[in-house]
Amino acid sequence: MDEATIRCFLAINLPEKLKQSIAEYQQELKRLAPKVKWVKPQSIHITVKFLGNQPESVVDKVIANLHSLGDHARRFQLNIAGFGAFPSRNKPRVLWIGGSGQPHEHLYDMYRWIEEHLQPLGFEKEKKRFSPHLTLGRVKFPQNLDDLWAFVQENPFPPYSFEVQRVELMRSQLKPDGARYSVLHRFAF
């Protein structure tokens, strides 16, 4: 019998107050770009590492390999500010608000430590540079977003800062109304 798989990822989850601020900001954005698929504020997080569909035995090994993260990572301030798009403003597929740690090295040191400790389990290191961000919406087909860009230029998301105290291993269950997330394990530091 095949072992059950779990779709999972490592994330920095957000304080409720920040999710509320995002919800309020998204209301204006939705009015300006109704055809964008907007992410529910309760689901917004910073993905540290997407692990994909993994057998339960591999998920247990991930937890074991990362158990000492708290001994190596330090709490740090994460600043949320700036609005952008991947891959570019001209051809947006993902609309985001950026995140940067202060000082940056704690965020990137934590990320590199996680990458190093997952590699023995067969998880390849990311080839792209780690770019911490909060995905607000996805652009499924080309559309004119000039009004949206003008709005965010004039009304930037109010900067927000919070202390990151843990990374969480999240389960992602795909449902017709969107993904549902639940915490599988917390790695506090």
134 sits in which H/E element: strand 133-138
Query: What is the rounded distance in angstroms from the CA atom of residue 77 to the CA atom of residue 50?
Result: 22
b/e per residue 151-186 (b: at least 16 CB within 10 A): bbeeeebeebeeebebbbbbbbeeeeeeeebeebbe
13: helix, coil or strand? Answer: strand
In the sheet with 37-38, reading across from the earlier edge strand, the strands are 37-38, 133-138, 92-102, 76-87, 160-164
pTM: 0.92
Mode of pairing for the β-strands spanning 133-138 and 37-38: antiparallel
pLDDT in tens, the chain (189 residues): 567 899 999 999 999 999 999 999 999 999 999 999 999 999 999 999 999 999 999 999 999 999 999 898 999 999 998 899 999 999 999 999 987 655 578 899 999 999 999 999 999 999 988 989 999 999 998 899 999 999 999 999 999 999 999 999 999 998 887 789 999 999 999
133-to-14, 82, 105, 125 alpha-carbon distances in Å? 12, 10, 16, 19
Residue 138, domain CATH: 3.90.1140.10
Residue 170, both tokens: 């999240």
Query: What is the rounded distance in angstroms from the CA atom of residue 32 to the CA atom of residue 27?
Result: 9
Q: Which of 45, 48, 186 is nearest to 111 (CA)?
A: 48
Helices (H) and strands (E) in the chain, counts: 5, 9
Residue 16: φ, ψ to 5°: -60, -40
Query: What is the rounded distance in angstroms from the CA atom of residue 136 to the CA atom of residue 121?
Result: 31
Give the pLDDT of residue 97.
95
Question: Domain span at residue 91?
Answer: 5-188
Structural domain total, the chain: 1
